[in-house]
Amino acid sequence: MRGRAVLTGEHFMHGDHACTEGAIAAGCRFFAGYPITPSTEIAERIAQRLPEVGGVFIQMEDEIASILAIIGASAAGARAMSATSGPGFSLMMENIGLAVMMEIPIVIVDVQRGSPSTGLPTLPGQADVMQARWGSHGDYAIAAYAPWSPQEMFDLTVLAFNVADRFRIPVMVMSDEVVGHMVERVVIPPEEQIPRWERKRPTVPPENGFRPFLAEDDDLVPPLVHAGEGYRVHFTGLTHDERGYPDMSAETHHRLVTRLVEKVRRNADAMVRYEGYGLEDARIVVISYGCTARSARRAVAQARAAGIPAGLLRLISLWPFPEKPLRDLARQAEAFIVAEMNLGQMICEVERYVAQPVIGVNHAGGAMIPPAPILETIEEVANRGAHIGRRKASTG
């Protein structure tokens, strides 16, 4: 029995399931994972769905094995994914760097829960967002997206595969327990309307002299060779030259790592996603993402109804960080408020780009921040004008 890959139509769908359907619609045909709340429903559904479409599901012995298996699967040509939560995400960190260094595309979904350590397995958190950016050792760059609805669990998983393949980088879908476990309407488009960005592949036949890590194009992305194609390519986590050969020189290292980071910077426009509400006239700009942005939108709507010129910048891509819209807003805004379910992570990024006061609305996790504390902060900022404090910790 073969199943449909793209479940075109309207669904009332669980966020984790929408992520699964996004993956399969995007052409994911390999999943390796390990059960962990609150991402387990992704593994359960994809274990059922992949065999229907000729894909491979394997439950590995841990999350380290899971990420290695998807890197290996991707090296052989498959679109491959794993899904996890904080503790498993931590176990994957070392090999994020391997995927970066080998330039093998992978997608990792982190349905964030209360943390650190075992934390709150069944309750939400947003405290892995800096880990997504910086968790592996060394300098590198990746892309990460924060869905705020089951619909975006679908859409952003598709985007994650496209960005990963197009730029040969690991891409994270940084969901959270609220969005992962929420059931809401999800519209899945017809198969031909699912966007597909292909991997750049070699255009010359295998021959002596082919340099698999030579990036000749302006996008700094070299063509990707899959196992078994006759190119006999060497992939290593060691610093390597354009041939893929280990080279322990400072020059080669600087050249390689700079290209890997610059590759993401230079192509950031293709990866960055954000959305604005009421930003046209906003003097107080709320910045939020994931489930917290739902409350932020409500708070902004309530503030505007009360005559306060507030607006919301919703970060859809956390990484690359949408710095351009933020720089633009810095010309009109008097203050920024960053609402996030951690004790202040993305706020650090906001502070890098604006000179205005930046106020955090924070909660360590376990419950979604409701609209009220965000609205109260907006009102407080509005009432105190320019004399507001630099930072205020407020809980939901």
Partner 1 sequence: MRREIRIAGFGGQGVVLAGYILGKAFALYEGLEAVMTQSYGPEARGGASSSNVVISDEPIDYPFVLEPDVLIALSQEAYTRFRPTARADALLIIEEDLVTPLEGDRPLRVPATRLAEELGRRIVANIVTLGYFTAATGWLRRESVEKAIENTLPARVVPLNLNAFARGYEYALAGERVL
Partner 2 sequence: MAHTLVAEKHPLDDLIRTDRMPHIWCPGCGIGIVMRCYAQAILESGIPVEQHVIVSGIGCAARTPGYMNLDSYHTTHGRPIPFATGLKLVKPELMVTVFSGDGDLAAIGGNHLIHAARRNVDIKVICINNFNYGMTGGQVGPTTPLGAKTTTTPYGNPEYPFNLPYLLAAAGAVFVSRWTAIHARQVKEDILYTFHKPGFTFIEVLAPCPVGFGKSNNLDEGVEEMWLYRRRCVPAGRVPEETPWEALQVDLREERPIVVGRFVDEDRPVYRPVRLEDKPSEHRG
Residue 38 touches which of partner 2, partner 1, none (CB < 5 to 8 A by kind)?
partner 1
- Rounded Cα distance between 196 and 148, Å, is 22
Cα–Cα separations (whole angstroms), residue 381 to 310, 343, 378: 10, 20, 5
Single out the residue of 96, 63, 56, 101 nearest to residue 82, CA to CA: 63
Encoded one letter per residue, x for contact with partner 2 by CB under 8 A and - for no contact, window 93-122 reads -xx--x---x--------------------
Which CB atom, from 142 or from 374, has the smaller least distance to partner 1?
Answer: 374
Residue 202 touches which of partner 2, partner 1, none (CB < 5 to 8 A by kind)?
none
Single out the residue of 7, 57, 36 nearest to residue 109, CA to CA: 36
Which CB atom, from 50 or from 341, has the smaller least distance to partner 2?
Answer: 50
With CB under 8 A as the contact rule, the residue among 37, 76, 252, 392 that binds partner 2 is: 76
Q: Closest distance between partner 1 and the C-beta of residue 37, in Å?
A: 7
Which residues, other chains included, contact 207 with Cβ-Cβ below 8 Å and sequence gap of 6+? none
Which residues, other chains included, contact 109 with Cβ-Cβ below 8 Å and sequence gap of 6+? 19, 39, 42, 81, 82, 83, 84, 157, 172, 173, 175
Q: Closest distance between partner 2 and the C-beta of residue 46, in Å?
A: 12
With CB under 8 A as the contact rule, the residue among 80, 109, 350, 381 that binds partner 2 is: 80
CB–CB of 373/394 below 8 Å?
A: yes
DSSP, collapsed to helix, strand or coil, labels residue 15 as helix
Which CB atom, from 295 or from 317, has the smaller least distance to partner 1?
Answer: 295
Which CB atom, from 121 or from 237, has the smaller least distance to partner 2?
Answer: 237
Residue 246 binds partner 2, judged by CB under 8 A: yes
Q: Closest distance between partner 2 and the C-beta of residue 118, in Å?
A: 20
Cis peptide before 190 (omega within 30 of 0): no
Segment interacting with partner 2, rule: CB under 8 A, options 59-67, 121-129, 253-261, 361-369: 59-67
Which CB atom, from 64 or from 364, has the smaller least distance to partner 2?
Answer: 64
Which CB atom, from 76 or from 330, has the smaller least distance to partner 2?
Answer: 76
Residue 251 burial class via C-beta count within 10 angstroms: exposed 0-12, middle 13-18, buried 19 and up? exposed
Token code pair at residue 317:
């891509």
Residue 256 binds partner 2, judged by CB under 8 A: no
Three-state secondary structure of 284-301? EEEEECHHHHHHHHHHHH
What distance lies between CA 214 and its chain's CA centroid? 27
Segment interacting with partner 2, rule: CB under 8 A, options 236-244, 255-263, 286-294, 336-344: 236-244
Residue 73 binds partner 2, judged by CB under 8 A: yes
Segment interacting with partner 2, rule: CB under 8 A, options 71-79, 152-160, 249-257, 386-394: 71-79
Contacts with partner 1, residue ranges (CB under 8 A): 10-12, 37-38, 121-122, 177-178, 181-185, 291, 294-295, 297-298, 301, 368, 370-371
Q: Closest distance between partner 2 and the C-beta of residue 327, in Å?
A: 38
Adjacent-strand bridge partners of 313: 276, 287
Residue type, 360: G
Q: Closest distance between partner 2 and the C-beta of residue 265, in Å?
A: 25
Which CB atom, from 76 or from 270, has the smaller least distance to partner 2?
Answer: 76
- Rounded Cα distance between 384 and 258, Å, is 45
Which residues, other chains included, contact 214 with Cβ-Cβ below 8 Å and sequence gap of 6+? 222, 242
Which CB atom, from 101 or from 374, has the smaller least distance to partner 2?
Answer: 101
Q: Closest distance between partner 1 and the C-beta of residue 89, in Å?
A: 19
Dihedral sign computed on CA atoms, order 247, 249, 253, 255 = negative
Residue 260 touches which of partner 1, partner 2, none (CB < 5 to 8 A by kind)?
none
Residue 204 binds partner 2, judged by CB under 8 A: no
Which CB atom, from 1 or from 305, has the smaller least distance to partner 2?
Answer: 1
Three-state secondary structure of 90-108? HHHHHHHHHHHHHCCCEEE
Chain residues that interact with partner 2, rule: CB under 8 A: 1-2, 29-30, 32, 51-52, 54, 56-58, 60-62, 64-66, 68-78, 80, 94-95, 98, 102, 227-238, 245-246
